[in-house]
Amino acid sequence: MSYQPGRHFLQIPGPTNTPLPVLAAIAKPTIDHRGPEFGKLGLEVLSGIKTIFKTESPVVIYPASGTGAWEAALVNTLSPGDRILMVETGWFSTLWSRMAKKLGLEAEVIPGDWRHGVDAAVIGAKLAEDKAKAIKAVCVVHNETSTGVTSGVAAVRKAIDQAGHPALLLVDTISSLGSIDYRHDEWGVDVTVGGSQKGLMLPPGLSFNAVSDKARAAAKAATLPRSFFDWEEMIAINGKGYFPYTPSTNLLQGLKVAIEMLHAEGLDNVFARHDRAAEATRRCVRHWGFEIQCANAAEYSSALTAVRLPEGHSADALRATILERSNMSLGNGLGPLADKVFRIGHLGDFHELMVTGVLTGVEMGLAACGIPHKPGGVQAAMDYLGGNAARMAQAA
């Protein structure tokens, strides 16, 4: 057995560090998924999870990774050959559009540069052109995990409404839910896709569809084949707290505690904590002299920061060095960003000292790899978190 002392820093943008109360809940003995104890747990998590999506509508919980919930969103609402509009914000939007095509949908993908979020005006223009109302759905990723760029979901809703278009709005919140403010009902989203392993602080293995009345109505007419992912079979039995097949009992035990923890802290405080960690990280990165992948400050992600290394330096070699020296995992660059960027996850269960610890590990790694940078980025983060930056600005 080899052992690296100290706790591993899991700073990829999900899966995230699972807090001890959640781990303890998951480690409790497995219970009968048809028994009364489970029925009570089922009702608790099925109503509790709605408060995280900010919806009164049903939230379907699958024993699947986020990819399963992507598929569920498409197969419940659409029919073979349906036209849908998707936006290339990065790797995950690309994977979702590939899935749509594999399922037999005609997905038009609005191209993007992987440094900006969705342009709601372009969506509005595409819908306005669609006089026959052939486009059945618009799909966007709220927080693009490959780039650290967010997209304005409310603006997309507005663009759809202004075009007077009936298309459904499907949104991926896999890396924003529980980290960045999200409002399924208020923003008029029809299907929200979520996952357990990021802001919800659980291990991977659960995923979610929050489903509007309009989406449920669309599902009645939709003919893409579906069985395991059929919402109605789930919703019918969920009313009593049960599932049509064996659910992930232990992960649901953990989910109950995770929801309680998020509310104990207060969702607004959770989001503010993420905002501060992200701002501290960006100040540190800028001090080092590196570019942030997200090119628009209004679209910065509070869940992760993707950092571009100068030409000729390997982000993967840096990550490998940091893993070996500091026992910390950072996210890799995906697709065309492979080896060019590394991603710092600052989401889920963490506090400020962990943020500065993460940045310290990166700064030591930069020095060890001989990557030119201005030392003292961690100090810039500390000045911000400790309030020194504000005090110094006031004194100046």
Which part of the chain contacts ligand PLP (CB under 6 A), choosing from 80-88, 103-111, 169-177, 288-296? 169-177
| Residue selected from 48, 51, 54, 65 as contacting ligand PLP according to rule CB under 6 A | 65
| Footprint (CB under 6 A) of ligand PLP, residues 261-280 | none
83 annotated ligand-binding residue: no
| Residue selected from 71, 82, 172, 190 as contacting ligand PLP according to rule CB under 6 A | 172
Which part of the chain contacts ligand PLP (CB under 6 A), choosing from 43-51, 60-68, 301-309, 341-349? 60-68
Nearest to 392 by CA among 285, 283, 249: 283
Q: Identify which of residues 63 and 66 has a Cβ nearer to ligand PLP in the complex.
A: 66
Q: Nearest-CB residue to ligand PLP?
A: 66
The encoded tokens of residue 257 equal 């505690």
Q: Identify which of residues 84 and 127 has a Cβ nearer to ligand PLP in the complex.
A: 84
Dihedral, CA atoms, 92, 98, 104, 106, nearest 10 degrees? 80
Asked if 66 is part of the footprint of ligand PLP (rule: CB under 6 A), the reply reads yes
The encoded tokens of residue 1 equal 């057995």
Question: Which residues have a Cβ under 8 Å from the Cβ of 18 and sit 6 or more positions away?
Answer: 26, 201, 202, 203, 254, 349
Q: Identify which of residues 45 and 69 has a Cβ nearer to ligand PLP in the complex.
A: 69
Asked if 112 is part of the footprint of ligand PLP (rule: CB under 6 A), the reply reads no
Asked if 347 is part of the footprint of ligand PLP (rule: CB under 6 A), the reply reads no
Strand spans (E) along the chain:
9-11, 59-62, 83-87, 106-110, 135-141, 143-144, 149-150, 168-172, 191-195, 207-211, 291-292, 304-308, 328-332, 341-345
| Residue selected from 74, 174, 200, 252 as contacting ligand PLP according to rule CB under 6 A | 174
Is the previous residue joined to 15 through a cis bond, with omega within 30 degrees of 0? yes
Q: Identify which of residues 307 and 334 has a Cβ nearer to ligand PLP in the complex.
A: 334
| Footprint (CB under 6 A) of ligand PLP, residues 199-258 | 204
CB of 92 to ligand PLP, least distance (A): 4
Asked if 14 is part of the footprint of ligand PLP (rule: CB under 6 A), the reply reads yes
Site string for ligand PLP, 138-157 (x = CB under 6 A): ---x---x------------
Distance, in Å, from the CA atom of 334 to the CA atom of 144, rounded to the nearest integer, reads 11
Classify 103 as helix, strand or coil: coil
Q: What's the per-residue H, E or C state across 237-269?
A: HHCCCCCCCCCCHHHHHHHHHHHHHHHHHCHHH
Determine how many CB atoms are found less than 10 A away from the CB of residue 136.
Answer: 20
Q: Cα(first)–Cα(last) distance of the chain, in Å?
A: 56
Binding site for substrate, by residue number, is 343
List of residues contacting ligand PLP (CB under 6 A): 14, 65-67, 92, 141, 145, 172, 174-175, 195, 204
